[in-house]
Amino acid sequence: MARPPAKELTERELEVMHVFWRLGETGIAEVRDDLATNGRDLAYTTVATLVRILEEKGFLELTYDERPFRYQPVKTFEEVSGNLLSDLMQRVFDGSREQLLIRLMDQKKLTAKERQFLESLLKEKRR
């Protein structure tokens, strides 16, 4: 019996979604060209398969049903990144934001710009 398709995004599917978030409504050829420009040279059929899977998973919708087909994102970057981050926090850090933050801070010393941004973000959240 075949496994049901995963609801999560694979690495390649996420790459394709980034193109759609950047370009908005677009076609498969434009997605393929954008990926190639950014160092990911995939065959047209591979990109078409990824787009079809993303449509089946509910991340993209068909907006023009004659060739060349056009698609647009259904889910925003904020929705997807928030879900991925929540999933990571739950699975890896047992739901602890504190542990996630500690691990982030342990990875690399903050730059002055990052420290300033973090301080302003914390001030804003206190209000």
**Of 85, 51, 91, 89, the residue nearest 68 (C-alpha):** 51
Q: Name the residue range of residue 32's domain.
A: 1-95
Please tell me whether residues 56 and 83 are part of one structural domain: yes
Residue with the bigger pLDDT between 38 and 2: it is 38
Please tell me whether residues 6 and 28 are part of one structural domain: yes
Please tell me whether residues 112 and 123 are part of one structural domain: yes
- Residues 42 and 33: their CA atoms lie apart, in Å, by 9
Please tell me whether residues 123 and 88 are part of one structural domain: no
- Stretch (H or E) spanning 73: strand 70-73
Please tell me whether residues 6 and 38 are part of one structural domain: yes
Position 126 scores a pLDDT of 84
Position 120 scores a pLDDT of 92
Beta bridge partners of 62: 71
Given a cut of 60, is residue 105 above it in pLDDT?
A: yes
Convert the pLDDT of each residue in 62-100 to its tens digit: 998 888 899 999 999 999 999 999 999 999 999 999 999
Please tell me whether residues 105 and 52 are part of one structural domain: no
Number of domains in the chain: 2
- Residues 56 and 63: their CA atoms lie apart, in Å, by 14
Please tell me whether residues 88 and 101 are part of one structural domain: no
Please tell me whether residues 31 and 80 are part of one structural domain: yes
**Of 11, 59, 4, the residue nearest 35 (C-alpha):** 11
Please tell me whether residues 87 and 106 are part of one structural domain: no
Please tell me whether residues 78 and 119 are part of one structural domain: no
Position 110 scores a pLDDT of 85
Query: What integer is the mean pLDDT of 22-40?
Result: 96
Please tell me whether residues 2 and 46 are part of one structural domain: yes
* Cα 17 from chain centre: 6
Position 6 scores a pLDDT of 63
Q: For residue 116, what pLDDT band results from cuts at 50, 70 and 90?
A: very high
Please tell me whether residues 90 and 115 are part of one structural domain: no
